[in-house]
A and B are shown apart, each in its own frame.
Chain A
Amino acid sequence: MPISIAITDLSAHAVREPVSRREYVLVSVRTDAGLAGVGEAAGSSAAVMAAVEAAKPFLVGRDATAIETVRRWFAAREGGFAAAAAQAALNMALLDLTGKLARAPVYEVLGGPTRFKARAATSLEGAGVEQLRRSLEAARAAGFRAMIVPLAAPPRPNQGQAFVRGVRRLLDRLRQSGGDDIDFILDAQGALTPGDSQMLARELESFHLLWLEEPCPSLNLPAVAKISGESATPVGFGRAVLSNGEFQDLLRLDAIDVLRPNIGLHGITQIRKAAALAETYYVAVAPFHRGGPVATAACLHLAASIPNFFLQEVPLPAADQDRRMRSELASAPLETVEQGFLKLPAGPGLGVTLNADALEKYRAN
């Protein structure tokens, strides 16, 4: 078996779900051994496609398993979200190749499995109790036992009691109709002030959320620390964070209970490193993932390679067409949930085979 394979080409493909309009970029890396690796970047902007393209001259001819050299190349350049997303997708693709080279699942290359299944959650869709209830029923029927409830952004900052009590009533009703075996995460989508967040966190202490998600925008880290500092409700944060240094600061400030790195902005290796940081603070990792099925596979391999994984969110589009697209694209039943848990992909590599026809059929531009 050859132990070196060289990158010969790469390409990026933006795809869009027909109904939800959710977009993501799938990256394919080809090698001289005939193996191809696949990864996924968050978002689908032209900037992400350009960032992947910009890395091509560096990557072509390079050893596909020398993953750290690629990250170093990105780290030495400016580029913000687009470059982070491109790095993430390439990291997944190169690990996919390493796994295929070893004829083993990625989690096994990385020292796993640390578990044989991964706890799952999904975001409910809609606003208002009736829509959310229907979404919850669908998610429950699909096997989910943990629900992420989107919180509608309040019209004004610094809400009063009506707002706080309203959120509590909504959650109580969802729990009533969902049953006692359903857990909840409240997703504030970064839309609250720290003041609103801490009032809400206090009110929900007795509701026992799994966590309060992204309560405020990432204005500054001490603001996040203040929220968790004033309440016992666990706080999850980090979807917009781009560097492990910033995660380290969140941990150092005792600001969070759940680390939420975005899989499509970091890739597998960087989140493994963030998890190593979090482990020493006894903090769990639950990667943020609102993208496509390739990133789902990456998340599952990550989950099975780290000790402090807690839960993985997976999108469950309401529309049949969208769900069909996800399974057509990845041609593997990756996102099947049973009794609240996802199965580990079998591999080799990420265990995903990209369907070229589907890439064309769902092309975003």
Chain B
Amino acid sequence: MNRRQFLTGFSAAVNAQMLKPSRAAGCACAPMLAAAQAGRWPAPRIKVTNMKAIGVSLTPDSDRPYVFVKIETDQGVVGWGEATLEGKAGSVIAAVHDFREFIVGEDPMKVEHHWQSMYVHTFYRAGPVLGSAISGIDQALWDIRGQVLGLPVYKMLGGPIHPRGVRGYYHARATTREQLTALRASAEQLGVTCFKSGIPGYYEWIEGRASIRRAVDAMTRLREGLGEEIDIGIDFHAKTSPAVATILCKEVEPLNLLFIEEPCPPENVKAMARISRRTTTPIATGERLIASFSCRELIEMNVVDILQPDINHVGGISALWKVGAMAEASGISMAPHACEGPVGGLATLHVDAAMPNFLVQEICSGIQPEFKEKVWEEWLGFPAMRMKEGYFPLPEKPGLGFDLTEQALAKYPFAGTRPMARVFHADGSVAEW
């Protein structure tokens, strides 16, 4: 053996060693993973052969390219999930690829096991990049499980509760009296029972009368324009401080809104509790929360009336169902967020259909389909996430219940990561939007 062969052999031996569990031995606390298991898993009837993260940009300048996860198996069954994280597409694609070793070659049926392993063995646990990657993989695994078992996902979860499907809402996208009157007429015609809207402008730490009046007037106009029968949610989008949010929530109490969403940013539960305590307007939040752990304090401290986790961030079907279970024990309703692509949207409907405490499902679309909705229909062959008589119909096929191909997506190639909107106050300082 010459010197070169010796070195190659040596490095191969080192590499083989490193692939064993002892590779973590750089840390004194590294466990002997192999020794911990005594016994074996049943032989899998199906194995994962490949996992892809596919970026899709509907327009070249999109700040929220979709990230779809496709998992292939040795039985020909293919599962789809969505890991879209607005403004961070590249990071999520990388994070999905980082989980390759957790999934490829494994039994796709063990979805809770894989969820735990991805979350716990990442050591740092939560965070939106990790949460979104796990979400996409989790949805794709549920899609596969359903197809293997011959059941739609909602049936595996004990649904459907309502045969008509899942009640939903569109975004109002109407502000003037004329626009609102037209919207109300369309809603009556189409059977839509609920809308959501934002509040105008950006907000300083404390606001004076002019800004407060402008926001209250906008909300009042919505109620007057849409009438008593239609439910209205208002999204503050965390652009208000607790001080401003409290004033606004109190001012609009007589409007009996369905909820006010994200009245302040999500990190400080006590701050949101302070708003919630001082108003009877129901408070909703949750789209930025990752894993069921992040909802515990909101529930425990009686902060929220409605939780709105996003199936593409919270940890997929597995985590959304758990948040629903936790909320149910406290009488909190579920109104999941959905503002990304059609895969996550359709996945959410399955969980919604099986939650006794489900209230209403969002879709970030207007009452009339536009470009985005037409592309979705072109991909999936049916008007995905469009309501009939105010309800999203449930898929009847096994798994998530749709067919999607890479070829269909190829028309909208990934155009790279773009940041989300960046807004600034008059003095140049950073503002929330």
Once the chains bind, are B329 and A66 in contact (CB under 8 Å)? no
- A22-B160 Cα distance, complex, nearest whole Å: 37
Docked Cα-Cα span, A272 to B110, in Å, equals 16
B92 on interface, CB distance cutoff 8 Å: no
Give the residues from 130 to 167 in chain B that come closer than 8 angstroms, CB to CB, to chain A: 142, 145, 148-152, 155-161
Residues in B neighbouring A68, C-beta threshold 8 A? 157-159, 161, 354-356
Q: Is B149 in contact with A71, judged by CB distance below 8 angstroms? A: no
Looking at B267-275, B320-328, B361-369, the stretch in contact with chain A turns out to be B320-328
Query: How many interface contacts (CB-CB < 8 Å) are there between A and B?
Result: 117
- Asked if residues A113 and B159 are in contact (CB atoms below 8 Å), the reply is no
Q: Is B398 an interface residue (CB 8 A)?
A: yes
CA distance A114 to B119 in the complex (A): 14
Are A116 and B40 in touch, CB under 8 angstroms?
yes
Could you tell me the distance between the alpha carbons of A194 and B254 in the complex, rounded to whole angstroms?
48
- Determine if B149 and A248 form an interchain contact, defined as CB atoms under 8 angstroms apart: no
Binding stretch for chain A, among B50-58, B98-106, B219-227, B292-300? B292-300
Residues in A whose Cβ lies below 8 Å from that of B330: 245, 248
Docked Cα-Cα span, A247 to B329, in Å, equals 9
Residue contact B322 to A279, C-beta cutoff 8 Å: yes
B292/A113 in contact, CB under 8 A: no
Q: Contacts of A248 on B, CB cut-off 8 Å?
A: 299, 326, 329-330
Given contacts A3-B155, A108-B149, contact A280 B293 (CB under 8 A): yes
Which residues does chain A contribute within 8 Å of B109, judged by CB atoms?
A: 108
A75: B residues at CB distance < 8 A? 356
Q: Are B300 and A252 in contact (CB under 8 A)?
A: yes
In the complex, whether A1 has a CB less than 8 A from a CB of chain B is: yes
A113/B296 in contact, CB under 8 A? no
* Complex Cα gap A252–B293 (Å): 13
- The answer to whether A113 and B152 touch (CB under 8 A), given A67-B158, A68-B354, A248-B330, is no
Is A72 in contact with B161, judged by CB distance below 8 angstroms?
Answer: yes
A65 partner residues in chain B, CB cutoff 8 A: 151, 155, 158
Q: How far is the CB of A76 from chain B (nearest CB, A)?
A: 10
A215 to chain B, nearest CB (A): 23
In the docked arrangement, what's the CA distance between A71 and B329, Å?
Answer: 13
The 8 A CB mask of B274-310 against A (1 = contact, 0 = none) is 0000000000000000001101100110000000000
> Which residues of chain B are within 8 angstroms of A69 by Cβ–Cβ distance?
161
> Does residue B116 face the partner (Cβ distance < 8 Å to A)?
yes
Looking across the interface, which residue of chain B has its beta carbon closest to that of A247? B329
CA distance A307 to B40 in the complex (A): 17
The reply to whether the CB of B73 lies closer than 8 angstroms to some CB of chain A is no
**Binary flags per residue of A109-146, CB closer than 8 Å to B gives 1, else 0:** 11111101100000000000000000000000000000
Kindly state the interface size class of chain B when it binds its partner: 35 or more
Does the CB pair A281–B296 fall under 8 Å? yes
Assembly CA distance A175 to B31 (angstroms): 29
**What are the residues of chain B within 8 A of A159 when measuring CB–CB?**
none
Q: A68-B356, A276-B292 are in contact. Are A111 and B329 (CB under 8 A)?
A: no
Q: Is A232 an interface residue (CB 8 A)?
A: no
CB–CB A66/B160 < 8 A: yes
The verdict on B39 contacting chain A, using a C-beta distance below 8 Å, is: yes
Indicate if B250 sits at the interface (CB-CB under 8 A): no
Interface residues of A in 335-358 (CB under 8 A from B): 341, 344
Rounded to whole angstroms, the CA-CA distance of A97 and B279 in the bound complex is 47
In the complex, which residue of chain A has the Cβ closest to the Cβ of B294? A280
Q: What A residues does B41 contact at CB under 8 A?
A: 113, 116
Contact residues in B for A312 (Cβ distance below 8 Å): none
Q: Is B428 an interface residue (CB 8 A)?
A: no
Query: A272–B161 contact, CB under 8 A?
Result: no
Q: Give every chain A residue within 8 A of B355 (Cβ-Cβ).
A: 68
What is the CA–CA distance of A60 and B212 in the complex, to the nearest angstrom?
A: 56
Contact residues in A for B240 (Cβ distance below 8 Å) = none
Residues of A in contact (CB 8 Å), total 44
Q: Which residue of A lies closest to B112 (CB)?
A: A111
Contact check: which of A114, A252, A341 meets B112 at CB < 8 Å? Answer: A114
User: Residues of B contacting A109 with CB < 8 Å?
Assistant: 149, 151, 156
Q: Considering the chains assembled together, what is the distance between the CA atoms of A110 and B113 in angstroms?
A: 11
Task: Tell me which residues across on chain A come within 8 A of B326, comparing CB atoms.
Answer: 248, 273, 276-277, 280
Q: Is the CB of B322 within 8 A of A276?
A: yes
Instruction: Tell me whether A273 and B396 are in contact (CB under 8 A).
Output: no
The answer to whether the Cβ of B84 comes within 8 Å of any Cβ in the partner chain is: no
Q: Residues of A contacting B157 with CB < 8 Å? A: 68
Contact call A3/B396, Cβ cutoff below 8 A = yes
**Interchain CA distance A265-B329 in the complex, whole Å:** 16
A198 within 8 A of B: no
- Contact status B149-A113, CB under 8 Å: no
In the complex, whether B318 has a CB less than 8 A from a CB of chain A is: yes
Name, among A72, A102, A243, the residue most crowded by chain B CB atoms within 10 Å (CB to CB): A102
Q: Which residues of A contact B113 (CB under 8 A)?
A: 112-114, 307
The residues of B that contact A1 with a CB separation of less than 8 Å are 150
Q: Does A92 contact B (CB under 8 A)?
A: no
CB of A197 within 8 Å of the partner chain: no
Q: Is B201 located at the chain interface by the 8 A CB criterion?
A: no
Q: A109 CA to B111 CA in the complex, in Å?
A: 10
List residues of chain A with CB within 8 A of the CB of B325.
244, 272-273, 276-277
In the complex, per-residue mask of A232-261: 1 if CB is within 8 Å of any chain B CB, else 0: 000000000001110110001000000000
The contact of A101 among B116, B148, B151, B292, by CB within 8 Å, is B151
A189 CB within 8 Å of chain B = no
Q: Which parts of A146-184 form the interface with B (CB within 8 Å)?
A: none
Tell me whether B112 and A307 are in contact (CB under 8 A).
yes
- A117–B112 CB distance below 8 A: no
Q: Is the CB of B42 within 8 A of A116?
A: yes
Chain A residues in 8 Å Cβ range of B111: 111
Known A72-B161, A113-B41, A277-B325; judge A307-B151 contact (CB<8 A). no
Q: Are A110 and B110 in contact (CB under 8 A)?
A: no
Given contacts A66-B160, A307-B116, contact A277 B150 (CB under 8 A): no
Query: Is residue A87 within 8 Å, beta carbon to beta carbon, of the partner chain?
Result: no
A131 to B179, CA, bound (A): 82
Distance A66 CA – B148 CA, assembled complex (angstroms): 19
Q: Is A305 on the interface with B (CB-CB < 8 A)?
A: yes
Does B328 contact A114, Cβ atoms closer than 8 Å?
no
Q: Do A244 and B159 touch (CB < 8 A)? A: no
Given contacts A112-B110, A272-B325, are A98 and B159 in contact (CB under 8 A)?
no
Could you say which residues of chain A place their CB within 8 Å of the CB of B328? Answer: 244, 273
Contact B151 A98 (CB under 8 A): yes
Tell me the complex Cα distance, A247–B300, Å: 12
Complex A-B: 28 CB contacts under 8 Å: A3-B150, A65-B155, A68-B161, A75-B356, A98-B151, A101-B150, A102-B149, A103-B150, A104-B148, A108-B109, A111-B145, A112-B112, A113-B42, A116-B40, A117-B39, A244-B328, A248-B329, A252-B300, A276-B321, A277-B326, A277-B329, A279-B293, A279-B322, A280-B292, A280-B293, A280-B296, A281-B296, A344-B42
- A interface list, Cβ under 8 A from B: 1, 3, 65-69, 71-72, 75, 98, 101-104, 108-114, 116-117, 243-245, 247-248, 252, 269, 272-274, 276-277, 279-281, 305-307, 341, 344
Nearest first, the 4 A-B pairs at minimum CB distance are A67-B158, A273-B325, A102-B149, A276-B322
